[in-house]
Structure 1
Amino acid sequence: MGHESPEETKPQIPEQAKHAYGIKTNRFLGGFESWIYEYDHPAGTRILRITPLSHRCPDQIRAELDWVRYLGENGLSVSKPVPTLDGRWVFHLDEGDSAGTAAAFLKAPGKPPTNEDWDTPLFRNMGEFVGKMHALTKAYTPLNPQCRRPEWREELDDCGDRYLDRVDDGIAKRFWENREYLDQLPKGPDSFGLVHSDVHRGNFFLDRGKITLFDFDDSTYSWFVEDIALALFYAVFPGTEERRKDAPRFYEAFLEGYARMNALSSQWLKEIPFFMKKRELLLYLVLTGRKRTDHPFMKGRKERLLEDLPVVEIPF
């Protein structure tokens, strides 16, 4: 759900990872649930991600990379994985506190979208991209069925186990109400599958108008409509009144683009508020648990959750 790191904490790439990928010079970019680095390569700049075992097991990362490779091989512009010098997609790290896995990717071409880019044509472009991703995913078969990404409820339950005892009973009640509602939704091949689960302007670059998406670390099995809901959620993030007022324009353009690339029953759009509420609750729990109550997102958030106010006022 993001990458950030205390300024004083800038961990070095373990030596075994440097040797595995032939890394000579690198720059630390940040971290949240993984450490992210940029390194030089004769074929172009690459990204290295170090993930602790406590966050993802190696099989989950293999499943992520398999899906990303599939999307890239079928015409979607994604930050493609690259193997180690000896051909391994996932590299195991076993150096004490650095135990975990490493994975590398081509750096996406272009730059982050600017405020000038953030307008209706880009919103439509984002919708087309997500629609194409979902259309491709319907035909996706994992290379190894035993290597699977988590299901939607696993992230939710893990977050609840960690942080529910740190919030008020009223917030916990909202959490369980939301989970129980989502749990009864039907699943089918046209509505449920792998989703990116974190599509926002911080996770793609623009190169002459073309989107390249990266950071599939949150990818999970869920309903396709969740990707639409989260794109809208982050379009209004951190939830200021000005951002919320612009939500209908973003949503209309995004949905117009999406419909060009993938068919999704309009009935699913009515579920968007519940998926937005899910992310709102998750962020509230994480930021509360990590004592980040000064984050702009948290201003008035507890009251909004207790009153069960919608994230945006749109007639879905």
Structure 2
Amino acid sequence: MQQFLDLPEPIRNVRVEVQFANTSRLDVVLDGGRGPIAVLELKVSATEHGDQLARYEQFASRYGAAKYLADLELPESSSPNGWTRVGLAELFGCWVGSADATTNVFSTEISNVFRQWHKQALGPLSSMDRAMFPIVLRSVSAALCREGFSAYATGTSAGQPSLVVFKPHPSGMDRAYLCVDIRCQNKNDPAVPWLFRIGVHVDEGDHLPSDRRLAHELASQLESALNLVDLRAGVSHIASDHVVEAISGARPLKAPRNHRSAITRWLEGVDEAGNGAVFRHPVFHHDKGRRLCAQFSLDTSKVSSSDIHALAQATLTYLSEKSR
């Protein structure tokens, strides 16, 4: 491990779950002859939370220790400033061939599993271990951000992995965006299609009813373009044929019996709700009334992370063209 991490001196001791600053625990601390020489934060699919890395940095700066983040992130993902990212497969590989039989068996198996998961990240989403979903979506998010989009790999209220990508609305209206929202429905069942939502989003301002009305206005301008036939044709200029075919959805929008009166009631409900919750939009699928979308399905047995990347780009281009 000393050679793998390029440490300046031999490792004399390894400590795990090291208590620091009362409530903090550091995953791994490596000690040399003079004290701590490195700290390691270990992550599988989760990301850092709160001021977690800041506490590590406080400890590391006290002893002049190096900082390593050992995880499964893909090359496209960025590393925090001052940290060296190392792969979990390579880290556990340090013990492969150990003279201790138990250590050798466990490190070999663990390293092989992590390597296999990384290989899965290149293929269809449905073939991946569920632990890789957040990692792959973070990689796609990072790549899209480098291309000028705003993208976030996050999770739904039900704890399902999701990716949301934004592009400023062509109108130039403040806080108004076109958006693509790709979300897993059941990470435990690869046969269940993911949701593919496309539409508009308005960031919250000082007056929530106005934000919701603006979202409704912008989404209504797109309503005629939010159908499967036109969407597939629109994204086919950028996305591959197999990606286009992965999109399905006979009824991406809801169809109230009396469209006009249903919309009128919803807008009245928006004003009555003020900054509170508003009932569901009668036509669009919504999040808090500020994100209004058409909802399609995405067959993840046909798409990889690179396909998700291309689909997000192609869809936002299509929405942009239809919004002018």
For normalisation by structure 1, the TM-score amounts to 0.26
- Larger proportion of strand: 2
Which structure would you say has the larger RCO, counting Cα contacts within 8 Å and 6 or more residues apart?
A: 1
For normalisation by structure 2, the TM-score amounts to 0.26
Q: Which of the two has higher C-alpha Rg? A: 2
